[in-house]
Amino acid sequence: MLLSKLLLPTLKEAPQEAEVISHKLMLRAGMIRKVASGIYTWLPLGLKVLRKIENIVREEMNASGAQEVLMPMVQPKELWEETNRWEKMGPELLRIQDRHQRDFCLGPTHEEVITDLIRTNVRSYKELPLNIYQIQTKFRDEIRPRYGVMRGREFLMKDAYSFNADEACLQDTYLTMRNTYKKILERLDLDYKIVAADSGAIGGDASEEFHVLAENGEDTIAISDSSEFAINTEVLLKEGEDISSLEGKPSPDGNGTIQIKKGIEVGHIFQLGKIYAESMKANVLNKEGRASTLHMGCYGIGVSRLVAAAIEQNNDEKGIVWPHSIAPYDINIVAIGYDKNEQIAEASHELYEQLTGMGYEVLLDDRKDGYGTKMKDSELIGIPLNIIIGKQFIENKEIELKSRAGESSINPISDIETVLDFFKDK
Ligand code: ATP
Ligand code: MG
């Protein structure tokens, strides 16, 4: 992609409304623009990152045996009345009417629609277990949309729903999803914790959240410094405990001491049990030929929130430092004097073709600007590797490789192996 043609409106300063670093950088890097409170347009660079995360999520969900569907965003009131949630959801549920004054809502989640699908299409325990997912836009009229796409009103979620014949089978699927979420977050190269969450009436360890650790996280979590123990302090607050007394105390599991950290909830897995299936009368025939209520689980990942969370964890004073797996482009060819020197223009295009042919995603900065402006933009948008073609190329046929992480080397342009070396372990 030629940078001169890319819709990339970078900004020197972040607009005042942006409070946290990811929101500032997403605006400055030309990834998103606000349309209304909590509602954003994704620009080409932002969308590329969003799609990369989406694809990692999709690949791992498919590998786990889950099946992808696409449910409607607009949902009829009648389904929500069956679970009492038309009332219960309160003002977060955006209600709309069609031209016949029939009531609908914009889907904040899809338990009702999916349970309706399964109860009308699955008859026997033999067809189970099923784990059905989608990657789709949700709408929640959040009381306080903030931090850009971190807490939006319209946002992209991967939501999965499992249907199991009994509790043991639900637990199996739950564990499979737990492992799948680990794989996803590892591929995204994020530092995360699995945290015991508020599971309401269900109790026990029926619900866990995946938190990306970051100073700007909205949640406060208590974690042990030497074991897996981690709990959302929301749970403790509900039980009337005093969080401050936990700091530096021995972990309740007997291993290590407690530290209080901030986390961004990027995923939530939940053993719902029979609650939705009972209220919506979702049954299958069991081995004995009798109607038996389905056991359900639900598993969400905030795909758009993950973009912001990744930036919160990967940035410096110059801008974003993308983990390789989700960088919008792998390489930026920074051509200095592109407009003035034919040799430079020609060599950078040749390199562009060569690298693209090798499977890399490449930007070519063919703009009239000088080295300073070009490098500033490249560092702001976080491209992992810059290849600088300028004076040294004219004089000695050499290029400079400069990684976003700070390594740099001068190499003959013919020595393309050095580029391969850079990506070898990534
Ligand atoms: P929160 O406590 O942050 O409001 P939640 O418990 O309402 O989250 P879930 O209903 O479990 O969230 O939704 C699944 C995932 O969707 C969350 O883990 C989060 O990553 C994402 N998500 C939820 N609300 C938003 C939002 N307003 N903006 C962006 N992502 C969101
Ligand atoms: Mg919420």
- Determine the pLDDT at residue 426: 64
Separation of CA 327 and ligand 2 centre (Å): 28
Q: What percent of the chain has pLDDT over 90?
A: 91
The closest residue, in CA terms, to atom 3 on ligand 1 is: 265
In the predicted model, what is the mean pLDDT of residues 230-240? 87
Separation of CA 398 and ligand 1 centre (Å): 49
Cα separation, 64 vs 74, in Å, equals 28
Is residue 420's pLDDT more than 90? no
pTM across the whole model: 0.96
Atom of ligand 1 at shortest range from CA of 140: 27
- Determine the pLDDT at residue 202: 41
- Determine the pLDDT at residue 205: 54
> How many residues would you count in the chain?
426
- Determine the pLDDT at residue 229: 92
Is residue 266's pLDDT more than 70? yes
The first and second tokens of residue 49, run together, are 């990152």
The amino acid at 404: R
- Determine the pLDDT at residue 54: 98
Contact between residue 138 and residue 157 where contact means Cβ atoms under 8 Å apart: yes
Which tens digit of pLDDT belongs to each residue from 197-225?
976 544 445 899 999 999 999 999 999 99
Looking at residue 149, what DSSP letter applies? G
The first and second tokens of residue 118, run together, are 């399964």
The amino acid at 69: V
Contact between residue 63 and residue 176 where contact means Cβ atoms under 8 Å apart: no
Mutate to test the pocket of ligand 1, among 268, 271, 298, 299 (most ligand atoms within 8 A of CB): 268
Which tens digit of pLDDT belongs to each residue from 139-165?
999 999 999 999 999 999 999 999 999
